[in-house]
Amino acid sequence: MGQAFYVAGTGTDIGKTFFSCLFMAKYAESYGFRYWKPIQTGLSSASDTEFVQKTTNLSDSFFLKPVYEFLTPTSPHYASKQEGKTLDPKSLLGVIAKERKTNTLIEGAGGVFVPWTEDYLAIKGIQESNLPVVVIGSTELGTINHTLLTLDVLTARFIPVIGFYLVGPKNPLQSDNADIIQRLGGAPCLGVTNFPEQKLLPSEFISFANEHFDTDRNVIDTLLIPEDEI
């Protein structure tokens, strides 16, 4: 029996997909994890699923197709309206529920208050999915505020938070950022990984992930704990 988990960001383009690449590169084959972005906007360029697959060089069997796809690079509620499509949260949650007991990384779209529809926020979907969450924050200035806000709204709704992980450029503030967020946010820091200094080939990225990601196994070991003990 596996454990799906939700990757939530403190904002848009904060590093969720980079985290997902790292996680999949290091753990997909050894633990049978799959990557899934149920709602994908901005398909006028490469999708996040395509990016993760290209970066990690994993086969199609490690990826689930999005449930909803939109060309418009905006929040789902606006993209669906612009393209004349309907996003049904209840239907989406039904699909997600079928994957609860599988080893699946589910990447969210934007931050936790992004509207899926005009009257349904992402955080409600996260809450109703009842999946454990890893919060992704930046290493840079401003991350204390953004990450604490995200942790606060999740824990206030009794959403199970595994912890937070910081990614981004190397920053002299990042150690203090992680310490303060952990001290004040009520959730453990699972790790910090900086962006590589140059673009890497898939084989190089896999080596990078094995060396620099989840070095203390905080993420994977927590996920391997039975769900009722998280």
Q: Which two tokens stand for residue 179?
A: 């310490």
Residue type, 222: T
Known active-site residue 37: yes
84 in a known ligand binding site: no
d(CA 159, CA 63): 25
101 in a known ligand binding site: no
Sign of CA dihedral 215, 225, 164, 54: positive
Alpha carbons within 13 angstroms on the beta-carbon side of residue 152 total 9
17 in a known ligand binding site: yes
d(CA 112, CA 135): 10
16 in a known ligand binding site: yes
107 in a known ligand binding site: yes
d(CA 6, CA 178): 20
Q: Which of 37, 81, 85, 124 is catalytic?
A: 37
Neighbours of 216 (CB within 10 A): 9
Neighbours of 183 (CB within 10 A): 9
Mention every residue, 6+ apart, whose C-beta is less than 8 A from residue 224: 3, 31
142 in a known ligand binding site: no
230 in a known ligand binding site: no
199 in a known ligand binding site: no
186 in a known ligand binding site: no
137 in a known ligand binding site: no
- Give CA angle at 179 (137, 217), nearest 5°: 70
Annotated binding site for ATP: 13-18, 48, 107-110
Indicate which residues carry an active-site annotation. 37
Residues annotated in the binding site for substrate, as ranges? 41
Annotated binding site for Mg(2+): 17, 48, 107
**Which residues are annotated as part of the binding site?**
13-18, 41, 48, 107-110
